[in-house]
Homo-oligomer: A and B are copies of this chain.
């Protein structure tokens, strides 16, 4: 006998994700989140207590799941280069399921994490930690070059976050004819980042 689904909290979280991504914490409006979720505003406070608690709940869940996906790649099988490519793919796939993620990530980095509690910060830290684990294992095994982990981490993931988050602004620039470029799908972009990482992390010079 299935438990009755807590539709309200889940709908509120989904609505909050969209609103916070579009407007940021300060720009988000509780009324708008409630309306998007088709619940009464009082219900939102009943379930989450405050705007900030809602925000933290959303981010903690999201970060934890992202870290979980990368952690699964890290503890799975495969060579170092394959795991790096797998981590990039997993991260990109996660983002594409949760289109709100890049914008929120960008905003939270800009904010310096000032609004996050310890638990949420810990969830966020799980993302780089999983990636660093892959790098360390590969270096120990000798199939990855020992670059500084932060360099590899930011080289691999930040272009993806940025590229996907910048989609609206690219549209806008394209529409006003300020720039013209051959289209590039997200999948192509991700593949190219994987290739670039493979090259820059290869332990020995290699043929292209």
Give A136-157 interface residues, CB cut-off 8 Å to B. 147-151, 154-155
CA of A132 to CA of B154, assembled, Å: 22
Residue on B with the closest CB to A154? B159
**Per DSSP, are chain A's interface residues mostly helix, strand or loop, or mixed?**
helix
Contacts of A155 in B (CB 8 A): 155, 159, 193, 196
A181 & B150 in contact (Cβ 8 Å cutoff): yes
| The residue from B113, B169, B176 contacting A168, defined by CB atoms under 8 A apart | B113
B148 & A192 in contact (Cβ 8 Å cutoff): yes
CA of A107 to CA of B202, assembled, Å: 34
Known: A121-B178, A189-B151. A172 touches B107 (CB 8 A): no
A189 & B150 in contact (Cβ 8 Å cutoff): yes
B172 & A113 in contact (Cβ 8 Å cutoff): yes
| The residue from B102, B125, B132, B169 contacting A178, defined by CB atoms under 8 A apart | B125
A158 & B162 in contact (Cβ 8 Å cutoff): yes
Q: Which of A112, A173, A181 has the most CB of B within 10 A?
A: A112
Q: Mark A164-189, 1 if CB is under 8 A from B, else 0.
A: 01101100110010110110100011
User: Does A94 count as interface, using CB distance less than 8 angstroms?
Assistant: no
A193 & B151 in contact (Cβ 8 Å cutoff): yes
Which stretch, A18-26, A44-52, A68-76, touches the partner chain B?
A18-26
Contacts of A128 in B (CB 8 A): 179
User: Does A7 count as interface, using CB distance less than 8 angstroms?
Assistant: no
Rank and list the top 10 A-B pairs by shortest CB-CB distance, nearest first: A26-B27, A112-B168, A158-B162, A26-B26, A103-B110, A154-B159, A113-B169, A106-B110, A125-B178, A106-B106
